[in-house]
Structure 1
Amino acid sequence: MTVEVAVRADDTLGEGPTWDAAGSRLVWVDILGARVHVHDPATGSHDVTPVDQHVGAAKPRAGGGLVVNLRDGVGRYDPDGTFSWLHHDPVPGRRGNDAAVAPDGSLWAGSMRYDEAEGGGSLLRIAPDGSATPLLDRVTVSNGIGWSPADPGLAYYVDSPTRRIDALRVEDGRVVDRRPFATVGPGAGIPDGLTVDAEGCVWIALWDGGSLHRYTPAGALERVVPLPVRRPTACAFGGPGLRDLYVTTARTGLADPEPLAGSLLVLPDMGQGLPATPFAG
């Protein structure tokens, strides 16, 4: 196993890597830096686009462009850069955080308060037409979201202070059951962003844990992968054949950040990923 630098960057809070199959590129955000990164590993090109608000996530759209989870709600950028709101819901002291596109093409968009007040965030389902359905309320730091390849009605979800990955049963676009899937023990870090591989195993980044964990579909810890940074934030498979595991990282809150903190890392040939569903709106 090797850890390489895909893009040397200085992200304050890198987050949410997603492989855009249509463009053969990786998309991620710097939440507090209010910018969206796009990287083509084949050519080495790297573009950075500033946005007007803190941006928790940016995901490819089926027709091109991006859907973004911003401070004041969810919006979309057309391929020509034109912006429009899908769900505009500003709340003082709150911002969007991690998000993911469900198998049905909707966006699951999480939020949190800047002061991380308990129960100050939520998880919403944003339909392609912009209509919003509450999935979970009174969450604190809404984070990783992913789906089982064997069961599209089974989602995995992290509210970071719980130190758990939860399994959500979804029917007709609503959460009908929530149960603990795996718990991260004391001293191992705080669960953050996640991805699910083709074997149905859940990979999760451990904030302040300097590592990734891989859990089997039964919830057993199968692998621990150490990283050269204390604050990895999320991971996603990408590159040719979806074999390379990309990891976003953060510098925020560190008095003496590691040299690679804030960069995009990659672990070549770490497994088999799943294609990301583009947002249908």
Structure 2
Amino acid sequence: MERISGVSCTVGESPTWSAADNAWFWVDIPARRVWRMDGASGATRYWDNAEMVACVAAKSGGGLIAGMETGLFSLTLDAEPSASAFKLAAPASGLGDGMRFNDGRCDRQGRFWAGTMFMDMSAARAVGQLYRYDAQRGISAPFVSELLTQNGTAFSPDGRTMYLSDSHPRRRMVWAFDYDIADGVPSNRRVFADMSSHTGRPDGAAVDADGCYWICANDGGCLLRFTPDGKLDRRLDVPMLKPSMCAFGGKDLDTLLVTSIVSGKPEDAEWGGAVLLLRPGVQGVAETPFGA
């Protein structure tokens, strides 16, 4: 386990590996910041933004696609300290006051999926929705509604299963869907893992080459791996209380980058907000850039 030096995030989220850039990217949501770490040198840098950036994915041809406060944006990371942001789309009904995008990821065909949430989780407003975006069709109508805290979006290695979680303390659920890879349409929603039977809340996730689903157990201080049939087969403890999302990357896709959130608890003071690199002994699946 290696801690990335000089990096601490209030709400670290959305790590992703870009093979084209040989680099990791992730965000610190309330800081409105996108981080980058070079895969060869380990050097880090960041870009500030006018809005909170909640999720990112690499774009084919360079740059990032991002889910932010008012919609989906294309980010160009050139000169520091600020990214150049171009708005691509927003839900037809808008996001509404107190809303923002949250978790997002591209499917295996390069379509971007991202969901929304009401930022004040204590209000427990089930107004979050899940959207698909591609350049040809634009942003979709919501495919899933009534989410409290949308999270955990991931796809099986063959792309035919989509995963989604709701990490709110009142929900704590992970679902699986059949996924039409031609049309980009999920169906047959079903419970994949009821996290009320496990430690923590289901936050961000990744899928390995064996098709197993790795979920960050927020408030549980660990990552949990579920087999494709929904059975827990491994627990990987981490030193921070609130791991938030994980992603496979590196040259051989055998490294797991894990972001975290500051909990404010004394026992978490040293590690809360840290970003870690782990070698879990399995390989991941290469992420498809947006628009590929």
Q: What TM-score results when the alignment is normalised by the length of structure 2?
A: 0.90
Distance in 1, Cα, partners of 2:265 & 2:198: 18
User: How far, CA to CA, are the matches of 1:175 and 1:198 in structure 2?
Assistant: 21
Per the alignment, residue 222 of structure 1 pairs with 233
| CA shift for structure 1 position 166 | 0.7
Native 8 Å contact 1:194 1:234 kept in 2: yes
For residues 190 and 14 of structure 1, the distance between their equivalents in structure 2, rounded to whole angstroms, comes to: 16
Q: How does 1:54-69 map to 2 (within 5 A)?
A: 54-69=52-67
Matched with 1:22 is: 20
- Pick from 112, 121, 125 the counterpart of residue 128 of structure 2: 121
Q: Does 1:157 align with 2:157?
A: no
Q: Give the drift of 1:187.
A: 6.2
- Whether the 8 Å CA contact 1:10–1:263 is kept in 2: the answer is yes
1:252 Cα deviation after fit: 4.7
Alignment of 1:265-280 (within 5 A): 265-268=276-279, 270-280=281-291
Query: Does the CA-based 8 Å contact 2:245-2:259 persist in structure 1?
Result: yes
| Uncovered stretches (5+) of structure 2, i.e. residues with no partner | none
Structure 1 residue 52 and structure 2 residue 59: aligned?
Answer: no
Cα separation, 2, equivalents of 1:223 and 1:99: 24
Q: Does the 8 A contact of 1:187 with 1:209 survive in 2?
A: no
Alignment partner, residue 103 of structure 2: 98
Residues 255 and 112 (structure 1), Cα distance of their counterparts in 2 relative to 1, 3 Å cut: farther
% same residue: 35
Aligned ranges for residues 31-46 of structure 1 at < 5 Å?
Answer: 31-46=29-44
Other structure's SS at 1:185 match: helix
Q: Is the 8 A contact 1:94 1:111 kept in 2?
A: yes
2:188 is aligned with 1:177: yes
User: Where do 4+ consecutive residues of structure 1 move more than 6 Å?
Assistant: none
Moved more, 215-224 or 245-254: 245-254
Contact 1:146 1:194 in 2 (8 A): yes
Counterpart residue number, 1:142: 150
1:70-109 alignment to 2 at 5 Å? 70-78=68-76, 80=78, 81-88=83-90, 89-109=94-114
Give the drift of 1:185. 3.5
* Residues paired across the two proteins, number: 278
Name the CA distance, whole Å, in 2 between partners of 1:187 and 1:175: 26
Q: Runs of 5+ in structure 1 lacking a partner?
A: none
